[in-house]
Structure 1
Amino acid sequence: MKKNIYSLLKGKFLTSNGASQNWVMIFYLLTLAIVTIGSSHSADQKVHEIAKLNNEVKELRSIMIDGRGQLMKLKKESYLEKKMGEKGIAISEIPPHKIKVKSQKE
């Protein structure tokens, strides 16, 4: 048992006669480890980008809601009356009349 552990620690399995198969396996496992680490980093970057985009969506949504509220305020008749009153334009006391135009074909 001790002898096997010492030979493993000394790396005799890499220098013995059948070592070429061991080297192939080591390179294969090393390649798999590099691919796994790379895909993990890629997934982490995507998670961070998604979180950043979600924060941006929340910020843009709050700006949109604020803009919608301001638009509703600007569309109110009382607000328009006040702003036009500052410019000297008042609401007419006489209601508008419909103008009917008869076509010449009749």
Structure 2
Amino acid sequence: MTEPRSRDRERRSVAAEIDRVEEKRLRCQGSLERVEFRYRREQLSDEDGKGLEDEMAIMNERIQKYEKELEVLRGENRKNMMLSVALLAISALFYYTFIY
């Protein structure tokens, strides 16, 4: 049996999923910018500096993961669009061939 999260993703459109992932990526990027600003501006102990560096590394990994997921979703969206255009072209061909 599939888990509830994957079933919810199956029900969403690709465009909605792209929007959701882009929003997550933007929030993560904003958090990263705040942490980088804090890292540059404040006088931190070695331990605090190391903690912020680790946090920045984790956020960078998340951003990269979201970007890869977006790339896959955009590819799927492109495939769906091409399929829709092909179906429209076939429908128009049949319409003009048999009805017109």
**Normalising to structure 2: TM-score of the pair?**
0.53
Q: Give the fraction of aligned pairs with identical amino acids, expressed as a percent.
A: 4
Aligned-pair Cα RMSD in Å: 1.4
Tell me which residue corresponds to 1:34: 58
5+ residue gaps, structure 1, are 1-19, 77-106
Instruction: Looking at secondary structure, tell me which structure has more helix per residue.
Output: 2
Are positions 1:72 and 2:96 aligned together? yes
Aligned to 1:52: 76
Larger Cα-atom Rg? 1
Q: Which residue of 2 aligns with 1:61?
A: 85
Q: Which TM-score applies when normalising by structure 1?
A: 0.50
* Greater relative contact order (Cα < 8 A, sep 6+): 2
Q: Matched residue pairs, number?
A: 57
Structure 1 segments (4+ residues) deviating >3 Å: none
